[in-house]
């Protein structure tokens, strides 16, 4: 049998004992699990015992008044949805408190007990929808991460097969051709020339295979693989002769999760390619560093900056970079000023 559905817990905080009892009885008759607190001090104790689904809070109480209690709650680890219960003449105060997070407020009038169940029901439905949306978004992010992780693993497998399988076979065939060419060099020069051409084609095929494999597996699986991959990216970019490209990593930055390292590398690769293709840059700098409990990846250039239409994150691969950063829990920012280049920063909690 499925477990019984638990009634929402309501905490009512009010120093008017008579009204406190009436509000509690009204909500209990609606099927809610109600606990009460006659002061802010008692309310804090109730909150420590168990976090309620909703709190009804009087603004003016003994020991700890409403605003002071809210101040303490805002520094707590678990947010508590709350409704303000306030007297006549305090509407302005209630509105001010709503700006600090209150979901609704109800006045202490003769209609209070009639209005209270509807206000509570409406608020609980809204908080329930918000929780459901947050849970759905969390599940979506998790599934999204799993799909991308599967894609990265498949790319890694294909890249390894290309490098260790096809690449090795082509190399072996090229060595066989070299041996046959030597055997034929004396008596069959034409055959030797043909074998030389075949060998050259095989060497080119091996080079292309390794290039494809490297594109599919840009970084290895070790904790320092990202540093190595970024250094090689900077070296390859610099060797093109079009820009000066450098990589800076003052101290070792180890990332144990290969999928996180792979996404960071792809971000750097995309940013570097953008600078080469679109920025008219003469200098590209890649930097990897640990800043306290965070890891910083930064790619900057001295080019013309982003076009206006790319400022909203669309085009030039910025959306892809934002997506990759989002999947690994990082924050990506883009700073650009026309004529002064672009700086892309990706900040990641170092737990990865």
% of the chain with per-residue pLDDT over 70: 85
**pLDDT attached to residue 316:** 53
CA 229 vs CA 144, 268, 270: distances in Å: 25, 10, 14
pLDDT at 311 over 60: no
Return the closest-CA partner of residue 341 out of 278, 273, 268.
Answer: 278
Which of residues 74 and 167 earns the better pLDDT score?
Answer: 167
Which of 159-163, 273-277, 343-347 bottoms out in mean pLDDT, i.e. has the lowest? 159-163
**pLDDT attached to residue 118:** 92
pTM score, two decimals? 0.54
Which of 81-90, 231-240, 268-277 bottoms out in mean pLDDT, i.e. has the lowest? 81-90
CA 71 vs CA 36, 63, 65, 97, 252: distances in Å: 20, 14, 10, 11, 42
Per-residue confidence at 347, pLDDT binned at 50, 70, 90?
very high
**pLDDT attached to residue 91:** 65
Vertex 237, ends 277 and 247: CA angle to 5°?
115
**pLDDT attached to residue 75:** 62
Q: What is the H or E stretch that residue 100 is in?
A: none
**pLDDT attached to residue 159:** 74
pLDDT at 312 over 60: no
**pLDDT attached to residue 27:** 93
Which of 13-27, 93-107, 117-131 bottoms out in mean pLDDT, i.e. has the lowest? 93-107
**pLDDT attached to residue 66:** 60
pLDDT at 298 over 90: yes
Q: Alpha-carbon torsion 281, 285, 286, 289, what sign?
A: negative
**Total count of residues recorded for the chain:** 352
Both tokens of residue 18?
Answer: 């008579």
Per-residue confidence at 183, pLDDT binned at 50, 70, 90?
confident
Q: What is the H or E stretch that residue 232 is in?
A: helix 225-239
Per-residue confidence at 327, pLDDT binned at 50, 70, 90?
confident
pLDDT of 4-23, one tens digit each? 567 899 999 888 889 999 99
CA 97 vs CA 80, 119, 160, 213, 235: distances in Å: 14, 17, 60, 59, 57
Q: Could you report how far apart the first and last alpha carbons of the chain are, in Å?
A: 41
**pLDDT attached to residue 166:** 83
**pLDDT attached to residue 35:** 93
**pLDDT attached to residue 2:** 52
pLDDT at 210 over 70: yes
pLDDT at 310 over 60: no
Strand partners, 349: 294
CA 329 vs CA 45, 128, 263, 294, 335: distances in Å: 35, 25, 11, 12, 20
CA 150 vs CA 143, 155, 214, 319, 328: distances in Å: 10, 9, 18, 20, 14
> Per-residue pLDDT averaged across 151-172, rounded?
78
């Amino acid at each position: 049998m499925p477990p019984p559905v638990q009634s929402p817990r309501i905490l009512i905080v009010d120093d008017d004992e008579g009204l406190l009892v009436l509000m509690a009885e009204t909500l209990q008759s609606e099927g809610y699990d109600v606990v009460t607190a006659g002061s802010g001090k008692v309310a804090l104790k109730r909150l420590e015992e168990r976090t309620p689904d909703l709190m009804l809070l009087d603004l003016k109480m003994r020991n700890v008044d409403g605003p002071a209690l809210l101040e303490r709650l805002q520094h707590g680890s678990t947010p508590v949805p709350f409704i303000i219960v306030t007297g006549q003449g305090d509407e302005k105060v209630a509105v001010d408190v709503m700006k600090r997070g209150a979901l609704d407020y109800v006045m202490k009038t003769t209609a209070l007990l009639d209005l209270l169940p509807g206000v509570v029901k409406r608020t609980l439905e809204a908080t329930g929808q918000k929780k459901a949306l947050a849970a759905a978004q969390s599940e979506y992010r998790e599934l999204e991460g799993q799909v991308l992780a599967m894609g990265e693993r498949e790319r890694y497998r294909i890249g390894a097969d290309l490098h260790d399988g096809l690449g090795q076979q082509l190399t072996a065939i090229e060595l066989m051709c070299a041996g046959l060419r030597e055997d034929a060099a004396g008596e069959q020069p034409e055959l030797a020339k043909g074998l030389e051409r075949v060998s050259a084609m095989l060497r080119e095929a091996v080079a292309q295979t390794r290039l494809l494999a490297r594109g599919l597996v840009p970084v290895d699986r070790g904790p320092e693989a990202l540093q190595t991959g970024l250094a090689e990216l900077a070296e390859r970019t610099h060797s093109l002769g079009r820009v000066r490209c450098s990589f800076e990593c003052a101290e070792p930055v180890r990332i144990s999760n290969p999928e996180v390292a792979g996404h960071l590398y792809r971000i750097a690769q995309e940013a570097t390619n953008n600078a080469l293709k679109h920025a008219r840059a003469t200098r590209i700098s890649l930097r990897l560093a640990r800043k306290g409990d965070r890891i910083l990846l930064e790619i900057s250039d001295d080019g013309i900056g982003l076009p206006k239409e790319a400022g909203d994150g669309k085009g030039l691969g910025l959306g892809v970079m934002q997506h990759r950063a989002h999947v690994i829990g990082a924050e990506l920012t883009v700073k650009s000023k026309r004529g002064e280049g672009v700086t892309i920063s990706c900040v990641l909690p170092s737990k990865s």
